[in-house]
A and B are shown apart, each in its own frame.
Chain A
Amino acid sequence: MIGIINYGAGNIFSLTATLARLGIDYGMVNTAEEIDRYERIIIPGVGHAGAAMQKLKESGLAEHIAAITKPVLGICVGMQLMTAFSEEGQADLLGLFPMKTLDFSGRISLKVPHVGWNAITPQQGCPLFKGIEAGAYFYFVHSYFIEYDAAYTAAVCEYELTYSAAIHRGNFYGVQFHPEKSGPVGEQLLLNFSTL
């Protein structure tokens, strides 16, 4: 069963609807004690990374994330929260990955936000991408990106620059795209996570 960190950062209806459709059981994590009830944890998140971090702290859950030893998946801003710092709000984040979340604006000439379906290339052997081919398209909507780091980047995406579409370190995983909106490949990724 998957526990979803419930800290009020954006709508999770689509995520829970997708998990239900896939037959994956889930529940909400409102307190630190509830983390132990679940075999896997998802950190959702949309909107402003700095504001989301503030909410995560206020929920009392932020300080307990690093200690989780079960598989954890951060989605979109939930992934960015696992990095050390975001230029969005100049915010210090959880620091589970020694990487930064940077602003597309000023770094690329293409349109911002990066909205739509873009191809990704997963690193060989990452279990999150089992059965998903290089070049598969996922749905992205974001204005900030996580820099590329050979040690932790689990999949790359090209949008004028090369950045992390997914990251992986030990039991912690993150994806910038929205698997719940990415058609069959997105569903495959969620199913993969549910069996990690």
Chain B
Amino acid sequence: MLAKRIIPCLDVKDGRTVKGVNFVDLRDAGDPVELAWQYSQQGADELVFLDITATHEGRKTTVDLVKSVARQVNIPFTIGGGINEISDADILLNSGADKVSINSAAVRNPEIIDNFAAAFGKQFVVVAVDTRFVDGGNYVHLSGGRIKTAIRTEDWILEAQERGAGEILLTSMDHDGTKNGFDNNFLKEINQRISIPLIASGGAGNQQHFVDTFQQANVDAALAASVFHYGEILIPDLKQTLKNNGIIVR
């Protein structure tokens, strides 16, 4: 049986981890490579790096970072943030990234999903979607949830799948940062309508939230950041809790 995946997400800027990290054994809390290695040792199934580097010079650092991670970490990882063109994705995949994640760029120009899928294969293309519930429905949001679009989230996800997305990473901006649990109702609704893997994101606060999203929404993977970075949830403990609840994990 395919195992449910647990995915820590790291925000990086100019090759350094941005958000505070509180690991006991860490020599350098700002070093994404060391963090990634720690997570792989703890039993994380996959990693996502969200690159919030703004400058062109900084993006070169990102390529070096991807290479360093690939050299030292033996689990798959995705890199997202600022990937607008085939050439951006190409250099990252050739530097050892397993997948690239695209978000705003795909909303602005949906054809890049088709182009990426044709160039690299669907399995390399993760479409990340930020959603917020407003005016009685879920709408796609851009720029970290700040800018609302007129696009219904369910319509966009179905279009992304049709165009060649290999996975959907769905973040509920309403739940993100609340630590009140994932948006399982909406995740379930989406999951029933798509035939590609769905990664839940936004709202993880405790171990039960992971149990709930796997049991209620049957998502393929769950992603979180702060609960892992601050050591509030240790991955081996989480895996044990999931096992105890009959959820298949590695």
Interface residues of A (CB under 8 A from B): 11, 13-14, 17-18, 20-21, 46-48, 110-119, 137, 139, 141-143, 158-159, 178, 180-184, 186-187
Q: How far is the CB of A81 from chain B (nearest CB, A)?
A: 15
CB contact between A47 and one of B75, B121, B196 (< 8 Å): that residue: B121
Contacts of A111 in B (CB 8 A): 195-197, 220
A11/B93 contact (C-beta < 8 A), A113-B123, A115-B166, A117-B3 known: yes
User: Are B75 and A115 neighbours in the complex by a CB distance under 8 Å?
Assistant: no
Contact A116 B121 (CB under 8 A): no
Give the residues in chain A near B132, CB-CB below 8 Å.
Answer: none
Q: Give the secondary structure class of B's interface.
A: loop
Query: Which one of B76, B95, B195 has the highest number of Cβ atoms from chain A below 10 Å of its Cβ?
Result: B76
Query: How many residue-residue contacts, CB under 8 A, span A and B?
Result: 87
In the complex the two chains form, what is the Cα distance from A137 to B71 in whole Å? 21
- Decide if B1 touches A118 in the complex (CB within 8 Å): yes
A21 CA to B33 CA, complexed, in Å? 15
Contact at A17–B71, with CB atoms within 8 Å?
yes
9 inter-chain pairs at a CB distance below 8 angstroms, sorted by A residue, are A13-B70, A13-B95, A14-B98, A115-B197, A116-B2, A118-B3, A158-B1, A181-B74, A183-B74
* CB-contact partner of A14 in B46, B96, B123, B220, under 8 A: B96
Cross-chain contact A143 with B74 (CB below 8 angstroms) = no
Contacts of A21 in B (CB 8 A): 71-72, 74
Nearest chain-B residue to A181 (Cβ)? Answer: B76
Q: Which 4 A-B pairs have the closest CB atoms?
A: A13-B96, A137-B250, A17-B71, A117-B3
- Name the B residues within 8 Å of A113 (CB-CB): 122-123, 166, 196-197
| A143 contact from B93, B122, B220, B250, Cβ within 8 A | B122
Q: Is the CB of B220 within 8 A of A47?
A: no
Chain A residues within an 8 Å CB radius of B195: 111-112
Known: A113-B122, A117-B2, A183-B40. 11 other contacts (CB 8 A): A11-B95, A13-B95, A14-B70, A14-B98, A46-B121, A112-B195, A113-B123, A114-B2, A116-B46, A117-B45, A182-B75
